[in-house]
Structure 1
Amino acid sequence: MELRPLRYFVAIAEAGSVTAAAAALHLTQPSMSRQVHQLERQLGIDLFVRDGGPFRLSAAGSEFLPLAQRLLAQAEATWETARAIAAGRLQRLTIAAPGTTLTDVVAPFLATLTGDDPMPAVWEEVPASVYATLGRGADLAIGTTLWPSTCVGIPLAELPVWAYVRPDDPWASRDSVGVADLVTRPLLVQTRDFHPRRALDQTLAATGVAYGPIHEFASAEVAQAVAASGRGVAVVSDDPRFDLRPLAIQGVRISLYAAWEPHHHGADTIQAIAERLRTFCATRYNLT
């Protein structure tokens, strides 16, 4: 089905007459009428009542009109998307990242976007496979390891891992804590599936410091909840909950990287947004 006869039908229905529609579209009335007759023959229905009285839609035409309007709107949206792609613009931006990164970094950043930016969407993905999402429809992936050679990217930030204590804890007034002091307290840590735990493990191994008592949790929020009950110090990278006080763990950092496909039609836009995200991280976490 051609779209031009549909446009003429909708124009006549909305204008109320062939004369008004033809004038609005700068066409002749006979040409427009022929196109509508052709559409009626193709559909097998009469779209207008032609009985010598006032020009009006038939019952079939009234039922068909919203379908034609939706089809034309979808066609226009399709063409607009194609024009945007050809111009290297992005109408949507899908960001893939681990859960904590989505909650504590990406979501606050999205709140800074404007109407001129692409409409964002997010995918939660485990760190080990986050870059693989670029081959499954994600436009920008944020990971905790360097991006693969098939991608291009930029470093985003070196983020702290926090030791969380209660407001009445002896450490509550401190800004940071070293690992030698940290391991003297019962630690509420995530399992080794999570990057904050792996970062702490690596620092302890490098400095020759051994763990004291630890309790493992699959959820950073649960670790903080248990810390709020006074059972130990939570070691996570999440933002604070339960009125806990954060202490930066000296020498323990999480690297964040942004990556995208080099031949993506919106690569310039993606890179610009990634660079804005890097600036956002520096401001949010007071990074220098």
Structure 2
Amino acid sequence: MRLLILALFSQFLVLAATPALAASCGNDGRGFNAWRDAFIEQSSRYGLKQRVVKSSLQNVTYNKKVIRLDRNQKSFKLSFNQFYAKRVNNAMIRRGQKLGKTYARTFRWVEKKYGVPSPVILAIWGLETNYGGFSGNMSVLRSLATLAYDCRRSKFFTNELVAALTIVQRRDMTPAEMKGAWAGEIGQTQFLASSYVKYAVDGDRNGKRDLIRSVPDVLASTANYLAKHGWRRGQGWAPGSANYNVLKKWNKASVYVQTISVMAEKISE
């Protein structure tokens, strides 16, 4: 009995130390407004200023579309040849080569600082958003708030929501400017908000880290991400290399990583 009491008491302490948000998730929109208001009230627990969180979230509503997209994810089973043919063509390679020349000065600075060559960054840039052609038009805060409230992956997306609000708090972007993909990916190379906070760089030196509109910020931040994950300066990125393993930290899908590698090689020709 004593052990049972101690176990229950320990469990109580753990629960007491955990924000109440984890216990108030939901599988439909009925409890969202209460959850949102509680999140705002408890925002200081996450190191956020309540006035920032309130102004950012007070009018945010539950998004059924985001939940539908989250539930309908299908893991593709394409071969590398099928995936590459679907995502890459000669026009993309040529455009990557052209952009490499257009931003040659920025790329030289980026490679000198981070050690990541331009073809690799260009391949990622092209694959993620067609070189910034479309990086998403959904409210990042609305998407992340919906997914943080949803019970399926509440802890993961609560962390991402806190990170997105941190971006707002440090004045890199306003809530209205923060548009992205349905799961909250931000910018021209689709950073998660947590990666944005950790690795975004002010490449154009204007005092903000803007991965939606600033190409220098995008290029430098992408290189910084790879560098911080172990990119080896002066080495290649073919399968089996240390740098190929770094690319796996960008995206876990093997066909995606192989496509980055091959596309970067073609851009470098």
User: Shared topology, TM-score over 0.5?
Assistant: no
Q: TM-score, normalised by structure 1?
A: 0.24
Larger Rg: 1
Q: TM-score, normalised by structure 2?
A: 0.25
More strand by share: 1
